[in-house]
Amino acid sequence: MKIALAQLNYHIGNFESNTQKIISNIQLAKHKGADLVVFAELAICGYPPRDFLESEEFILLCEQSAQEIAKHCIDIACIVGLPIKNDVLQGKDLFNAAYFIEDGKVKSIAKKTLLPTYDVFDEYRYFEPATTFNCIDFKGKRIALTICEDLWNINDNPLYVSNPMDDLIKQQPDLMINIAASPFSYTHDDARIKVLSDNATKYHLPVFYVNQIGAQTEIIFDGGSLVFDADGAMKAEMKYFEEDLQVFDLAEVENVRNKYPQPERLTDIEQIHDALVLGIQDYFKKSGFTKAVLGLSGGIDSAVVCALACRALGAENVMAVLMPSKFSSDHSVQDALDLVENIGCMHEIIPIKDVAAAFDNILAPAFKGLPFNLTEENIQARIRGTIVMAMSNKFGYILLNTSNKSECAVGYGTLYGDMCGAIGIIGDVYKTQVFQLAKYINKEREIIPLNTIVKPPSAELRPDQKDSDSLPEYDILDKILYEHIELKQGSTALIAKGFDEVLVKRILKMVNVAEFKRYQTPPILRVSPKAFGMGRRMPIVGKYLT
């Protein structure tokens, strides 16, 4: 039996596009000699559909698409994911399901059992877990078909009390197929490989796993579909961040001695870079936009975002707006201009000195001679936010937010100023990682000016300002933030690890006090195991850690 894995880029709710893409890949797999072609979890509607699932019409369109797909499954079978109705009154109204289609008809249905409800997942909000399990007989082989999380309950701290494969294995299957919508983080590929390999070893069966690629607002899918033999050895690793269709002969996979060629693994920074480029591309393409605008300060954050946007959209579609104030240094303006010249994007220079002076004048009576402080710094940031939003409104540009994760974490940013935008590009990338990204972007030639990389970071909202005036050095700050946010460590654990007690308590307080700001920021492209946004839900007025 020859099995094709089709990892594709779906668009949530775009039934016409998704259906035609699935049909064309059925035809391609058939042309390549496949007996069975496998598509991802909820491929027909796109993942995650969220509250679209509450619409009866949405579910009807899923079923209609599935029936159209079925017409093309002649002389080839397919497995495709979609939501289906639960005909039992008790429980949730839907199942997260997979159709096995053969000879133009739905021959079997597999339903997801383990419904993740953590981090970015909220599946139990919509779906009823399956309680019955049946293998699928095809071409003289018996298939144990599972959906994504159904194979993840295999570690030292299981989240669930049951394992679908423990029931399916009793029916003596010959292979496992798992269809997934497994979101990207720069640590997830290694965890994914281990989980699937452990399943192959535990049940002593080959595993065929298909993931999707593409970005759905903030969530990015990296592909990397996989095949393992019954000893848990990886036999194939498909492309990352690209659509791909490959055909595998089950007989060759069962032959442990025969190895498929595997691509070289990407480093964390390479993965983050490719994920962000894909995230930008899909946000624009799936929203129907082509051109971006951002404020370009001469600092490293906006420089990296500009470079990423130019790679994703083409330099001719990116507008960089330089907005120097009376506190901006000449070298910062020149660094920004050097980047524009290196990269070839559009640019405008719009000084804000006169606008800031006008605010000073009209507020002088109300402020009654009070000294310059954070108020005037924030006014400058909000002037810049107004200007880039004006460019967005006038020309139809989409505004890119350039705040990094370190700043988002501790609230080092101005609401309705530098924190505005339609999509946060590096809001899940710590400052120390931003420097690594800049060096990676420059690996072939200097795109981001060297001075932008080596100079001390500064918001330049007051004379001789440095980020280190308000924040700990980033190499220390980011270590504490990573331990607290990604690893969920509290103050006691951090102090026990050797971090300074006063510093730890100060930083954790800053993180929690800034929650009200993060509620009002744009969606942030997710590249880490714990991103701000829907994956990290904290109360604004909670007392703990403040």
Q: For 151-202, what is each residue's pLDDT tens digit?
A: 999 977 788 988 999 999 999 999 999 999 999 999 999 999 999 999 999 9
Q: What letter represents residue 217's amino acid?
A: T
Is there a catalytic annotation at residue 420? Answer: no
Q: Which of 148, 345, 408, 420 is catalytic?
A: 148
Pairing mode, if any, of strands 226-228 and 219-222? unpaired
Q: What letter represents residue 54's amino acid?
A: E
Is residue 189 domain-resident? yes
118 is in an annotated binding site: yes
Is residue 26 domain-resident? yes
Is residue 35 domain-resident? yes
How far is 254 from 400, CA to CA, in rounded Å? 48
Alpha carbon dihedral 415, 416, 417, 421, in 10-degree steps, equals 110
pLDDT at 57: 98
How far is 220 from 298, CA to CA, in rounded Å? 28
Is there a single domain that holds both residue 33 and residue 132? Answer: yes
pLDDT for residue 275 is more than 90: yes
Boundary (domain end) residue, out of 448, 470, 492: 470
302 is in an annotated binding site: yes
Mean pLDDT across the stretch 11-36?
A: 98
Is there a single domain that holds both residue 131 and residue 182? Answer: yes
517 is in an annotated binding site: yes
Boundary (domain end) residue, out of 238, 264, 290: 264
Is residue 494 domain-resident? no
Name the pLDDT band for 263 (thresholds 50, 70, 90): low
How far is 23 from 6, CA to CA, in rounded Å? 11
Q: Which residues are paired to 127 by β-bridges? A: 94
CA dist list (Å): 345 to 127, 320, 336: 46, 7, 11
The chain-wide mean pLDDT, for the chain, equals 94
Is there a catalytic annotation at residue 41? Answer: yes
297 is in an annotated binding site: yes
Is there a single domain that holds both residue 166 and residue 64? Answer: yes
| pLDDT single digits (tens) 206-235 | 999 999 999 999 999 999 999 999 999 999
Is there a single domain that holds both residue 209 and residue 345? Answer: no
| pLDDT single digits (tens) 291-332 | 999 999 999 999 999 999 999 999 999 999 999 988 877 788
Alpha carbon dihedral 388, 394, 395, 396, in 10-degree steps, equals 80
How far is 397 from 400, CA to CA, in rounded Å? 9
Is there a single domain that holds both residue 296 and residue 252? Answer: no
402 is in an annotated binding site: yes
Type and span of the H or E element at 248: strand 244-249
Is there a single domain that holds both residue 306 and residue 166? Answer: no
Name the pLDDT band for 9 (thresholds 50, 70, 90): very high
Is there a single domain that holds both residue 275 and residue 336? Answer: yes
Q: Cα-flanking dihedrals φ and ψ of residue 263, to 5°?
A: -70, 160
pLDDT at 459: 66
How far is 236 from 262, CA to CA, in rounded Å? 6
Is residue 91 domain-resident? yes
pLDDT for residue 51 is more than 90: yes
How far is 277 from 154, CA to CA, in rounded Å? 33
The answer to whether residues 472 and 511 touch, using CB atoms and an 8 Å cutoff, is no
Cβ within 8 Å of residue 457, ≥6 positions away:
299, 300, 431, 466, 467, 468, 474
Is there a single domain that holds both residue 286 and residue 259? Answer: no
Report which DSSP code applies to 528: S
Mean pLDDT across the stretch 267-289?
A: 97
Is there a single domain that holds both residue 251 and residue 292? Answer: no
- The count of domains in the chain is 2
The answer to whether residues 208 and 38 touch, using CB atoms and an 8 Å cutoff, is yes
| pLDDT single digits (tens) 394-436 | 999 999 999 999 999 999 999 999 999 999 999 999 999 999 9
Q: Which of 2, 30, 111, 112 is catalytic?
A: 112
Pairing mode, if any, of strands 226-228 and 207-210? antiparallel
Residue with tokens 């899918």: 221
Mean pLDDT across the stretch 356-366?
A: 95
- Determine how many CB atoms are found less than 10 A away from the CB of residue 59: 20
Chain centroid to Cα 268, Å, comes to 14
Pairing mode, if any, of strands 36-38 and 77-85? parallel
300 is in an annotated binding site: yes
Mean pLDDT across the stretch 95-106?
A: 98
The answer to whether residues 100 and 79 touch, using CB atoms and an 8 Å cutoff, is yes
Cβ within 8 Å of residue 336, ≥6 positions away:
296, 297, 298, 302, 303, 320, 322, 347
pLDDT for residue 132 is more than 90: yes
Is residue 476 domain-resident? no
pLDDT at 464: 73
How much of the chain exceeds pLDDT 90, in percent?
Answer: 89
Is there a single domain that holds both residue 227 and residue 277? Answer: no
Is there a single domain that holds both residue 285 and residue 152? Answer: no
Q: Which of 41, 102, 123, 377 is catalytic?
A: 41
Q: Which of 343, 338, 301 is nearest to 319 (CA)?
A: 343
Structural domain containing residue 42: 2-264
Q: Which of 195, 209, 204, 200 is nearest to 156 (CA)?
A: 195
pLDDT at 462: 66
Q: Which CATH number characterizes residue 220's domain? A: 3.60.110.10
Is residue 533 domain-resident? no
Q: Which CATH number characterizes residue 363's domain? A: 3.40.50.620
The answer to whether residues 351 and 324 touch, using CB atoms and an 8 Å cutoff, is yes
- Determine how many CB atoms are found less than 10 A away from the CB of residue 161: 7
Is there a catalytic annotation at residue 148? Answer: yes
Is there a single domain that holds both residue 36 and residue 137? Answer: yes
Boundary (domain end) residue, out of 241, 264, 287: 264
How far is 32 from 230, CA to CA, in rounded Å? 25
Report which DSSP code applies to 46: -
Is residue 65 domain-resident? yes
411 is in an annotated binding site: no
pLDDT at 178: 98
Name the pLDDT band for 338 (thresholds 50, 70, 90): very high
